[in-house]
Structure 1
Amino acid sequence: MDNLIDMKALLEGVDIFNLSLWLSGLLIILVVIGVRVAFATAFIGFLGLCLFFMQKQGFDRGLVTAMKLAGQVPHSKSTTYALSLIPTFILIGYLAYYAGLTRYLFEAAKRWVGWLPGGLGVATVFATAGFAAVSGASVATSAVFARIAIPEMLREGYDKRFAAGVVAAGGTLASLIPPSAILVIYAIIVEQSVGKLLLAGFLPGLVSALIYGGLVIGLAKVRPSLGPRITGFTWGQRFASLPGALPILVVVFIIVYSIYFGWATPTEAGALGAFVVLLMALWQGMKWGQLKGALMEAAKLTVMIFTMIWGVLIYVRFLGFARLPDVFADWIGTLHYSPYTILLCILLVYVVLGMFMDAIGMLILTLPVTFPAIIALNGGEGVSRADSAFGMTSEECAIWFGIIVVKMAELCLITPPIGLNCFVVAGVAQDSKMPISVQDVFRGATPFFGADVATVFVLILFPGIVLWLPGLL
């Protein structure tokens, strides 16, 4: 008992804000050395809650309170209706893949743009953009087209690094183009409209795809050996490829149309899209083994995402008690620098973090701190366009920042040493006996880092690209 009393006295002299800084530093160390984000955040969050309540209530009662809160918060938050959208979006992508719909999409893109320099690379970019419109997961998109596009490019004499880099970078488009699981997670964390954020990602996703396509053409023009043109397709063959791509286009239309015109919530639109893809897959002759595979893969990815959300929610609750987000937002407001300079500094932090963390983990870990800071920088909640720093309301600022920060999260999918998309592409290539290493994929994806930076600057300079569609909702 004396030891417990001494411990309480020790904690009473500890400033909880400084403690949150130390624990956040420890969290970064744990993530860098390889501890899973879900477990690292849950551990640090629970430890912080224990120390906070022990300081207020003593050892025994504080421990019990922390345990209750750590158990209640993940359940209460993860049962949010909007989060049910995530598994439906993921399921759409896997059903489309197992039904073979992605091959038809790639074939159509190849016939229509293969004549360009690096034509198969351009076709891969546009096909991944199309598949991204029915798949909410970047990793799934990369894995699918590593099996479809890379063998085709290698057969046509494409450079293996170039081919692998195109697929790894093209897979990141699923982070922006709706339906996007990561945009849903952002909307839940910052408490913004899921429907508006999904619509906001549509045009930036297309801009990103066009910049990727332009980069592929430019590289192939400078070095024709990277990707020769594919010629010989007649106009009849091109038009004949369109019906095979039609199912995916129909699903995209259903999801975007239903959300835009308001006759279905995003969750209902996702469920409807999954049902339509399932009917199309069955019509194409999907077998029970393929359906089982799609369901299992969707379940695995869904569980991974929700586990990360649960861990981070515990950590975020501790940060709330420590007032770290509020203090950081107040501090940002006192800086005598241009708002755009501060924004770029925050984005540079995401570049560094992206080298050590996956996209979803990075966002749900940092947004509780960076989002209030950006809103404060813009002028605070309820600010008008005339009085704001970025020339937009607080809601518009939340949507605009969301698209930019998700685009920044895409960078971490192709940057070493984590670069999850690059590891997935290399893994699929090795399983398929293709001579492509992880180093080859990283080297091939390097030019696309510059394309992503260019896209971010375009979205910062022209926020209307982000805000036009949600403004019409």
Structure 2
Amino acid sequence: MTGLDNDTIGVIGVICMLLLVLSGVRIYIAAAAVGLVGLVSMIGWDAGAGMIGTIPHSKAVSYTLSVLPMFILIGYLAFHAGITQALFDAARKWFGFLPGGLAVASVFATAGFAAVSGASTATAAVFSRVAIPEMLAAGGTLATLIPPSAILVIYAIIVEESVGRLLLAGFIPGIVSALIYVLIILVWAKISPGIGPAIKGYTWSDRIKSVPGTMPVISVVVIIFSAMYLGWATPTEAGALGAFVVFLMALMKGMRYDALKDSLLETAKLTVMIFSLIWGVLIFVRFLGFAGLPEHFTQFITSLPFEPWVVMLFILLGYVILGMFMDAIGMLLLTLPVVYPAVMALGYDPIWFGIIVVKMAEVCLVTPPIGLNCFVVSAVRPDIPVSTVFRGVGPFVVADFLTVAVFLIWPEVITWLPNQMMN
């Protein structure tokens, strides 16, 4: 229709997409608009518009996608049931004696909440009310790895991988990430003792009495993890069961109707946002497929005169740069359709790459100028400027890069657990 070949239309579409996003247009709108115009340019209005019209319905009714609202609901129910405060109190009593005790407690508390919440921003917002804000901006990112994780589900949907295997694969890396955060805090507190003094005065009796308050989280983690690992339930069924258990615990804690309504509304809002992103970007992905860009990029990557690990480092560097300007979910939705086939052609494991790329997405959540978690924390705690939060997360960004290095050198840290599931 336009006189241009599909390759040229594809390149123009990618440039237009990036310009729209950088100018402030929401990703799902920019992706859908560029995808529509691009497809119509290549195959005509009737075929292009007809194809695009089927995407929202076909994806909305996908059984795999139904796991997202279940995991998100678990997190909001846990928050409104008051489980978060009990987690932080227990972590403070058990780990507060360490150098930087409050920050260490924050890490373990956020890791625990991440195990029942699929949303990183929700984790950061919830704990910013009770713990160190700078720490929570970084600690909230643990929710992207520790199952249940919404962003891992999105990765699985995009690349058509097993949701269950990916969620299990995130468990050990999530723990490793938390331990490296703690290591950074301990070293930092030794060098500069004033940043986080140890918390003294808790007895063993105080510690033991704090344990029952953590049982709701432990119960949900055991239910979800064992159900998926042993094959008793699909991820969606495990998520639904986990949400039901948290709901019952919330009722026993005296949850009122208003709190339940807020949980459901917040779950619906976040789910709609994620679904809209998926629909818009999938339209753009369909356009890229017709333009042939994924195949061309794969051919280019595999023809480079470098070892695969060198190419991988360049890919990860690209994610670092993109993460300065885009949110994590949008970045993965836009890049994976092109990058994933190339990575597979280099011989990497799809589960391993999923954890690596999601870990890189964590870095985006705390790096300027976007740094969504930092803005969330600053909004919850307006007494602390966002610039202060960004400076405070600096050491934890270093910790994230150190964690990625561990996963690159020892890929078995990621692949061991899901491989056990297959045996």
**2:369 is aligned with 1:417:** yes
Please tell me the residue identity of whatever aligns with 1:438: V
- Whole-angstrom CA distance in 2 between matches of 1:375 and 1:77: 24
Tell me if 1:15 matches 2:5.
yes
Give the 3-state SS of the residue equivalent to 2:130 in structure 1. helix
Q: Structure 1 segments of 4 or more deviating over 4 A?
A: none
| From 270, 273, 286, the counterpart of 2:255 | 286
Q: In the alignment, which residue of structure 2 is the partner of 1:426?
A: 378
Residue by residue, what CA displacement relative to the aligned partner does 1:19-55 show, whole Å, maximum 9, x if unpaired?
A: 21121011111111211111111111111111111xx
Note if 1:399 corresponds to 2:351: yes
1:116·1:229 contact (CA, 8 Å) conserved in 2?
Answer: yes
CA distance in 2, matches of 1:177, 1:472: 18
Q: 2:208 aligns with which of 227, 239, 259?
A: 239
Q: CA deviation at 1:74?
A: 2.5
1:239, distance to aligned residue in structure 2 (A): 0.7
Alpha-carbon distance in structure 1 between the residues aligned to 2:26 and 2:145: 24
In structure 2, what is the equivalent of residue 69 of structure 1?
51
Aligned counterparts of 1:164 and 1:15: Cα–Cα separation in 2: 52
CA distance in 2, matches of 1:17, 1:180: 36
- Give the 3-state SS of the residue equivalent to 1:147 in structure 2: coil
Contact 1:108 1:245 in 2 (8 A): yes
1:201-249 alpha-carbon deviations (Å, 9 max, x no partner): 0000000000011111111111111111101000011011000001100
Q: What is residue 95 of structure 2 aligned with on the other side?
A: 113
Match for residue 65 of structure 2? 83
Amino acid at match of 1:414: V
CA distance in structure 1 between the partners assigned to 2:346 and 2:8 by the alignment: 23
Asked whether the 8 Å contact 1:251–1:277 carries over to 2, the reply is yes
- CA drift of 1:63 comes to 1.3
1:342-369 CA-to-partner distances (Å, cap 9, x unmatched) read 0000000000000010000000110000
Whole-angstrom CA distance in 1 between matches of 2:276 and 2:346: 32
- C-alpha contact (below 8 Å) 1:175/1:182 kept by paired residues: yes
C-alpha contact 1:87 1:302 (8 A) present in aligned 2: yes
Q: Could you say what secondary structure the match of 1:229 adopts?
A: coil
Query: CA deviation digits over 1:94-153, x for unaligned, max 9?
Result: 00000000110110000000011110100000100000000000000000001121xxxx
Residue 168 of structure 1 aligns with an amino acid whose one-letter code is A
Which secondary structure does the structure 2 equivalent of 1:148 belong to?
Answer: coil
Aligned length: 421
d(CA) in 1 for partners of 2:361, 2:248: 33
In the other structure, the counterpart of 2:39 is: 49
CA distance in 2, matches of 1:113, 1:237: 12
Tell me if the contact between 1:110 and 1:120 (Cα under 8 Å) persists in the aligned partners.
yes
1:334 paired with 2:303, answer: yes
Q: Is the 8 A contact 2:78 2:84 kept in 1?
A: yes
Q: What SS does structure 1 have at the residue aligned with 2:198? A: coil
Residues 59, 65 of structure 2: 8 Å contact kept: no
Letter in 1 for 2:195: L
Report how far residue 79 of structure 1 moved. Answer: 1.8
Asked whether 1:123 is paired with 2:105, we answer yes
Distance in 2 separating the partners of 1:272 and 1:175: 21
**Structure 2: which 5+ residue stretches go unaligned?**
none
Q: Which residue of 1 aligns with 2:76?
A: 94
Q: TM-score, normalised by structure 2?
A: 0.98
Higher Cα radius of gyration: 1
What are the equivalent positions in structure 2 for 1:448-459 lying under 5 Å apart? Answer: 448-459=396-407
SS in structure 2 of the partner of residue 301 of structure 1: helix
Which digits, 9 at most, give the CA deviation of each residue in 1:393-442, with x for residues without a partner? xxxx0000000000000111000111000000000001xxxx20111111
> Would you say the 8 A contact 1:164–1:445 is kept in 2?
no
User: Is the 1:164–1:440 Cα contact (8 Å) retained in structure 2?
Assistant: no
In structure 2, C-alpha distance between the alignment counterparts of 1:264 and 1:235, rounded to whole Å: 38
TM-superposed CA distance for 1:306, in Å, is 0.4
**Partners in 2 of 1:291 and 1:73 — Cα distance?**
32
1:439 equivalent in structure 2: 387
What's the secondary structure of 1:230's corresponding residue?
coil
Of residues 317, 337, 342 in structure 2, which corresponds to 1:368?
Answer: 337
CA distance in 1, matches of 2:133, 2:22: 26
Aligned to 2:148: 179
SS at match of 2:381: helix
Match of 2:238 in 1: 269
Structure 1: gaps spanning 5 or more residues = 1-7, 54-61, 150-162, 379-389, 391-396
Residues 1:463 and 2:404 aligned together: no
**C-alpha deviations, 1:279-312, integer Å up to 9, x for none?**
0000000011111111111111101000000000
Residue 464 of structure 1 aligns with an amino acid whose one-letter code is: E
- Opposite residue 408 of structure 1, the aligned amino acid is M
Normalised by the length of structure 1, the TM-score is 0.88
Given residue 178 of structure 1, which amino acid in structure 2 is its aligned partner? P
Partner residue in 1 for 2:17: 27
- CA drift at 1:164: 2.2
